[in-house]
Chain A
């Protein structure tokens, strides 16, 4: 634990610049969206308090908005508003609306009727009654709504990092994909502290009298303008190329760090989620992305892979990994799995992924079509010799491979299969394997090396530039450490790759990462 705290502290010190900018971005996203939600929600709440017959509809719509899953909402935003701060703020704004409208409505309708009547009878105008009687008396309830909205927004703002809007989500989601708890904590702790801080501040405001609060209202436009400028300036200066990298890629030696060190690449970078990255590149929101070389979306969005001429991305050749005792227990299994070896290259895998991801064909159909076309398909023997448990991670390519292995095993041996597909990430899948919950799953040499074995930097230097060396190393070490066997590689290399729109790359004459660097240096 002490070790952990030590290194968390070190991490924070190392990354203090990033932490500061992410925190500021986070505060900015939260406050700007909140202020807009107040500017819209407060009058709307007042309006439906006047026209009660509309209250059901308005509160209903705001309620539905809030039930849309955050990622889906962010996804809808991209075609409309692109990526970056704007769609994130719009999404956060929509989430903050309900508590503000609802509490304004409740607060105003809850004002004692005799007080309103007295105000009216003394000759106050509707406007005076609103500002001198209704709003001040409703203010504690309204502020409670604003508090709720703020806490929601601090939480949801972590997701802004999915669409390149920054914020503490960069650390949190980067940490999750890199299996780096310090990074997760460096994002999660400040996010939690922000939520608490805002909550406390607002509870203080809640106790201050409305009269003093009025002066704060004048500060509002100033804050909005300040943040609007803050958000507009960077995008205005972005005349050159912009990169969108996943949080995972940002933090890896074989990712952005390597690009900076080995290539000296200096490019304006935003952090973005894998799910929306390809689309954002296609929509010209960003120009360079960090993808996977066999991703089906390469084809769907007409992107091209830049050649990694300095070999910073380690090879990610896929091969089934099997527990040694399972190989012994099920003779013939190894041969069946090896049937696929060498048969799928990068472009074939991209094509197969394209069919599931973009054409929405089932993995089963894609797998069968492929095996049939390659004369490898045999109908199931419906054998009774035992059950082989197949695992896979939670993305398309792994589902296709799992289906192929199922058909190969059932067609060529007397075993049946059961599938445990969709196991979260590398760690979960591998733990399931070593804990004897599955018998094998397809893994990538690079992942085995960097995520599971994590050898010292010197060793990495020696082996990552060469695919055979990498394969041999992981094969030896897995056998030794875990009694897990790497079978023959399937053929394709699903490595990290930098990609650009094909058309833009052609126009600019960029084929390799070095070309990209030279282009950026010239401009």
Chain B
């Protein structure tokens, strides 16, 4: 969906982005991860031509992005900023209908879409007539997301979208974000400096340093097959948690014991989820959790100890 080739951006003596190439497949969620100043934002903004590159080429949907006027290009690319960039003089309704307005949607279509989105994003319709300054930080960010999703643009760019939120709100919105069906189909490029967020939300991660991509791959590849010390050190501090997040229940399914007698109540957890997710549910009084294979519909009942044993086993096979 997105193809970037030998892209560079130079500011005076500084190479903000230094000859990078990558591809993002349709429906993928690529995270640009790295410390502040490594060139993430610059890379992202070149994708919708907010910044023109010094060298290199970009194709989106097979088409060279310089082939059409930047305005037209941008109307088909959603964009979410860290401090939301909502128009303070527009109501929520006006803010999220800007792009439909530019694309000359009719009123009926716009109205239906607003209500659909508000529901998905857990926003009350009462907010429609409010101004951004009257909303909480979390609500503002949800509205910013709604604005970017409004016209079903196939590509979504996000620059530290949850960076300005407090921890609790951030975790909550990240959860919702993952569950949002709209996002499953989209090709997303998201910038963050938060390693957890990257592992939580991305199915591919590009670790950047000094304008270059140091390594790009799935979370598991980065964790278990780091190409150099930079990547290894970058992930060292939160290694265990990251690994638990990177390994899905499906990965360890074979080494979990089969169930004998199943209780009749409770929803099973899908094996597309990570081990981390399963452990999250095993808090307090809950001693066992029911899992259901996404492939075979087989159901298993496991404890915390059994999960950790399976994890150790899996890790050994990877590093062996």
Residues of chain A with a CB closer than 8 A to B98's CB = 122, 124
Residues of chain A with a CB closer than 8 A to B99's CB = 122-123
> What is the distance, in angstroms, from B52's C-beta to the closest C-beta of chain A?
13
In this assembly, does A121 line the interface, its C-beta being within 8 Å of a C-beta of chain B?
yes
* A-B CB pair tally, cutoff 8 Å: 57
Residues of chain A with a CB closer than 8 A to B157's CB = 121
In this assembly, does B152 line the interface, its C-beta being within 8 Å of a C-beta of chain A?
no
**By the criterion CB–CB under 8 Å, are B73 and A118 in contact?**
no
**By the criterion CB–CB under 8 Å, are B74 and A137 in contact?**
no
Q: A123-B99, A123-B102, A124-B102 are in contact. Are A118 and B74 (CB under 8 A)?
A: no
CB-defined interface of A206-250 with B at 8 Å, one 1/0 digit per residue? 000110000000000000000000000000000000000000000
Contact of B87 among A123, A125, A133 (CB under 8 A): A133
In this assembly, does B85 line the interface, its C-beta being within 8 Å of a C-beta of chain A?
yes
In this assembly, does B192 line the interface, its C-beta being within 8 Å of a C-beta of chain A?
no
Contact of B79 among A121, A128, A210 (CB under 8 A): A121
Whole-angstrom CA separation of A122 from B72 in the bound complex: 9
Report A84-139 residues with CB < 8 Å from chain B CB. Answer: 112, 114-115, 117-125, 128, 133, 136-137
Whole-angstrom CA separation of A114 from B144 in the bound complex: 12
Whole-angstrom CA separation of A209 from B91 in the bound complex: 12
Whole-angstrom CA separation of A121 from B75 in the bound complex: 8
> What is the distance, in angstroms, from A154's C-beta to the closest C-beta of chain B?
30
Interface class of chain B by DSSP: mixed
Q: A121-B50, A121-B79, A124-B102 are in contact. Are A210 and B73 (CB under 8 A)?
A: no
Q: A117-B50, A118-B79 are in contact. Are A123 and B85 (CB under 8 A)?
A: no
Q: A123-B102, A137-B89, A210-B89 are in contact. Are A118 and B81 (CB under 8 A)?
A: yes
Whose C-beta in chain A lies nearest to the C-beta of B157? A121
**By the criterion CB–CB under 8 Å, are A121 and B87 in contact?**
no
Contact of A124 among B71, B77, B81, B82 (CB under 8 A): B71
In this assembly, does B43 line the interface, its C-beta being within 8 Å of a C-beta of chain A?
no
In this assembly, does B83 line the interface, its C-beta being within 8 Å of a C-beta of chain A?
yes
Whole-angstrom CA separation of A137 from B88 in the bound complex: 8
Contact of A114 among B73, B77, B83 (CB under 8 A): B83
**By the criterion CB–CB under 8 Å, are A123 and B74 in contact?**
yes
In this assembly, does B86 line the interface, its C-beta being within 8 Å of a C-beta of chain A?
yes
Residues of chain B with a CB closer than 8 A to A125's CB = 71
Report B28-72 residues with CB < 8 Å from chain A CB. Answer: 48, 50, 70-72
Residues of chain B with a CB closer than 8 A to A118's CB = 79, 81, 84-87
Number of interface residues of A (CB under 8 A): 18
> What is the distance, in angstroms, from B40's C-beta to the closest C-beta of chain A?
15
Whole-angstrom CA separation of A490 from B265 in the bound complex: 126
**By the criterion CB–CB under 8 Å, are B74 and A121 in contact?**
yes
**By the criterion CB–CB under 8 Å, are A122 and B89 in contact?**
no
Whole-angstrom CA separation of A133 from B98 in the bound complex: 11
> What is the distance, in angstroms, from B168's C-beta to the closest C-beta of chain A?
24
> What is the distance, in angstroms, from B106's C-beta to the closest C-beta of chain A?
19
Q: A114-B83, A118-B79 are in contact. Are A123 and B72 (CB under 8 A)?
A: yes
Whose C-beta in chain B lies nearest to the C-beta of A113? B85
Whole-angstrom CA separation of A342 from B304 in the bound complex: 127
Residues of chain B with a CB closer than 8 A to A136's CB = 89
**By the criterion CB–CB under 8 Å, are B102 and A119 in contact?**
no
Query: Which of A115, A122, A128 has the most CB atoms of chain B within a 10 A radius of its CB?
Result: A122
> What is the distance, in angstroms, from A126's C-beta to the closest C-beta of chain B?
9
Whole-angstrom CA separation of A374 from B158 in the bound complex: 97
**By the criterion CB–CB under 8 Å, are B83 and A122 in contact?**
no
Residues of chain B with a CB closer than 8 A to A114's CB = 81-85
Report A128-163 residues with CB < 8 Å from chain B CB. Answer: 128, 133, 136-137
Whole-angstrom CA separation of A121 from B87 in the bound complex: 13
Whole-angstrom CA separation of A112 from B48 in the bound complex: 20
Whose C-beta in chain A lies nearest to the C-beta of B83? A114
**By the criterion CB–CB under 8 Å, are A115 and B79 in contact?**
no
> What is the distance, in angstroms, from A211's C-beta to the closest C-beta of chain B?
9
Whole-angstrom CA separation of A314 from B312 in the bound complex: 121
Whole-angstrom CA separation of A407 from B83 in the bound complex: 82
**By the criterion CB–CB under 8 Å, are B88 and A121 in contact?**
no
Whole-angstrom CA separation of A122 from B75 in the bound complex: 6
Residues of chain A with a CB closer than 8 A to B77's CB = 121
Whole-angstrom CA separation of A501 from B84 in the bound complex: 73
CB-defined interface of B85-105 with A at 8 Å, one 1/0 digit per residue? 111110000000011001000
Residues of chain B with a CB closer than 8 A to A137's CB = 88-89
Query: Which of A112, A115, A124 has the most CB atoms of chain B within a 10 A radius of its CB?
Result: A115
Residues of chain A with a CB closer than 8 A to B50's CB = 117, 120-121
**By the criterion CB–CB under 8 Å, are A115 and B85 in contact?**
yes
Whose C-beta in chain A lies nearest to the C-beta of B95? A118
Report A189-218 residues with CB < 8 Å from chain B CB. Answer: 209-210
**By the criterion CB–CB under 8 Å, are A122 and B102 in contact?**
yes
**By the criterion CB–CB under 8 Å, are B74 and A122 in contact?**
yes
Residues of chain B with a CB closer than 8 A to A210's CB = 89
Q: A133-B87, A137-B88 are in contact. Are A120 and B81 (CB under 8 A)?
A: no
> What is the distance, in angstroms, from A123's C-beta to the closest C-beta of chain B?
4
Query: Which residues of A does B touch, CB under 8 Å?
Result: 112, 114-115, 117-125, 128, 133, 136-137, 209-210
10 A-B pairs (CB sep. < 8 Å): A114-B81, A115-B87, A118-B81, A119-B87, A121-B157, A123-B71, A123-B72, A123-B75, A137-B88, A137-B89
Going nearest first, the 8 A-B pairs with the smallest beta carbon separation are A118-B85, A123-B75, A123-B74, A121-B79, A114-B85, A123-B71, A136-B89, A114-B83
Known A114-B85, A121-B74, A123-B70; further 9 A-B contacts with Cβ < 8 A: A114-B81, A115-B87, A121-B48, A121-B85, A121-B157, A122-B75, A133-B87, A137-B89, A209-B89
Query: Which residues of B does A touch, CB under 8 Å?
Result: 48, 50, 70-75, 77, 79, 81-89, 98-99, 102, 147, 157
